[in-house]
Amino acid sequence: MDDSTYSMVNESAEKLFSDRDDKDFDPALWAAVEDAGFPLALLSEDRGGFGLSAREAFAPVRVAAAHGVALPLGETLLANWVLGEADLDPIEGPAAIAWDGKAAVPFGRFLKTVVQLCETDAGLAVSVLHPNAEDWQPALNYAGEARDTLTLTTQAKPDAHIACAPVVLRAAMAMLRAVQIAGATDAVAAMCMNYCNEREQFGRPLSKHQAVQHQLAVLATHGCAATVAADMAVAAFDTALEQSEPFVLSAAAAKVRAAEAATTVSSISHQVHGAIGFSEEYPLHQLTCRLWSWRDEDGSEAHWAKHLADWASSLQSGGHLWPALTACDLREAT
C-alpha cells in the first residue's frame, strides 16, 4: 500500500475543498476538480486515467463529503470506471450512472453525461446519454441537492455491454454512499468537539460534563465504525469484477453500518448543539441533511441488511456460513 500517493491525493483534495460548503453545484469548482484529474483516477493510464487504487481514488470523495461540497465527484468516478470496463472512452464534465427506468439521478440537471445501464441476456447494456434540460423532472433530496428523474421518450441503443452482475454496480453505489457518510461523520465529530470545548455551561465547558462526554464517546465510536466499514468496502472494490461476492458483501455491510452511524451521529450532534445546529447558516445543518439523504440512497439500511441476511441464510443450512466468513481476507483494508 503506497501511503505517499494516498497522502498526496488527500492533501490536494483538502486544498481544493477546504473552506467550501457549497449548497449548489459550482461549475468553477468542478473545472478545478477535472484539472486535478480526480474523475479519471480509477482508469488505467492506457485508458486516459491515472491507475490509482480505489483507496486513493475515493480519498477526494471523502474529503469533499467532509467539507459539504455538492459535486457528483464519486458518481463521475464510477461512471468513468464503467465506461472503461466497457472499452468506451471516458467523458468530460460531470456524469452519473442511471438504471433503465424512473429513478432519481444524482445532480441530474447539472450532468453532461449519463451512463445508463440496462439488464439484458448479454449482460449489462451500457448507453452513453447526453440529456437536455427538458429531459429532467426536477426533484431534491433532504439536503437540497438535485435528484432528478430522467424522462426520455425513446429507448437508448446500447453502446456496449459489460460482463458484470447488476448487484456489483448497485453495491458500488452503496459503497460510495458509505464513503461519503464516513467523511461527513468525521467532520460532524470534529465540529461537536470544538463546540463543546468552546461553549460553557454552569461555569465550565460542555466537554467537561460527564453526560456530554458520554454522548461524544458514542458519536466517535459510530464515526470510527463507519470509517472502518467504508475502508473495507473500498479495499474490496479493486477486485470487484474478479471476486464479486466478497466486494458485494463488504459494500452491503458498509452501507448498513454507515447508515446506522448516520442516524446516531446526526441525533447526538443536534442534541449537543441545541437550536443552533438546525440553523441553515450553521454548517452542521447541511452535513446532517446529507447524512440523512445518503443513508437512504442507493439501497437503504434495511435493503442491504436483507441482502446480507439472505446470503447468510443460504449458507447456514449447509453449515458453510462460518467458513465463508473466515475466508474473507480483510487485511488490505487496515
Tell me the domain boundaries of the chain.
Answer: 3-162, 166-333
SS3 state of residue 129: strand
Instruction: Specify the pLDDT at position 331.
Output: 43
Q: Is 2's pLDDT higher than 80?
A: no
Instruction: Specify the pLDDT at position 332.
Output: 45
Instruction: Specify the pLDDT at position 155.
Output: 73
Out of 133-147, 200-214, 219-233, 295-309, pick the least confident.
Answer: 200-214
Q: Is 59's pLDDT higher than 80?
A: yes
Residues 6+ apart with CB under 8 A from 20: 29, 67, 68, 69
Question: What are the tens digits of pLDDT across the range 155-204?
Answer: 778 899 998 899 999 999 999 999 999 999 999 999 999 988 888 777 78
Q: Are 126 and 161 in contact (CB under 8 A)?
A: yes
- State how far the Cα of 68 lies from the Cα of 65, in Å rounded to an integer: 5
Q: Is 320's pLDDT higher than 90?
A: no
Under the banding of pLDDT at 50, 70 and 90, the label for residue 123 is confident
Question: What are the tens digits of pLDDT across the range 228-263?
Answer: 999 999 999 999 999 999 999 999 999 999 999 999
Full-model pTM: 0.93
Which helix or strand (DSSP H or E) is residue 196 part of? Answer: helix 166-198
Under the banding of pLDDT at 50, 70 and 90, the label for residue 1 is very low
Instruction: Specify the pLDDT at position 153.
Output: 67
CATH superfamily of 166-333: Butyryl-CoA Dehydrogenase, subunit A, domain 3 (1.20.140.10)
SS3 state of residue 205: strand
For residues 318-328, average pLDDT:
73
- State how far the Cα of 89 lies from the Cα of 18, in Å rounded to an integer: 31
Distances (CA, A) of 297 to 142, 144, 161, 321: 11, 14, 26, 29
Instruction: Specify the pLDDT at position 322.
Output: 78
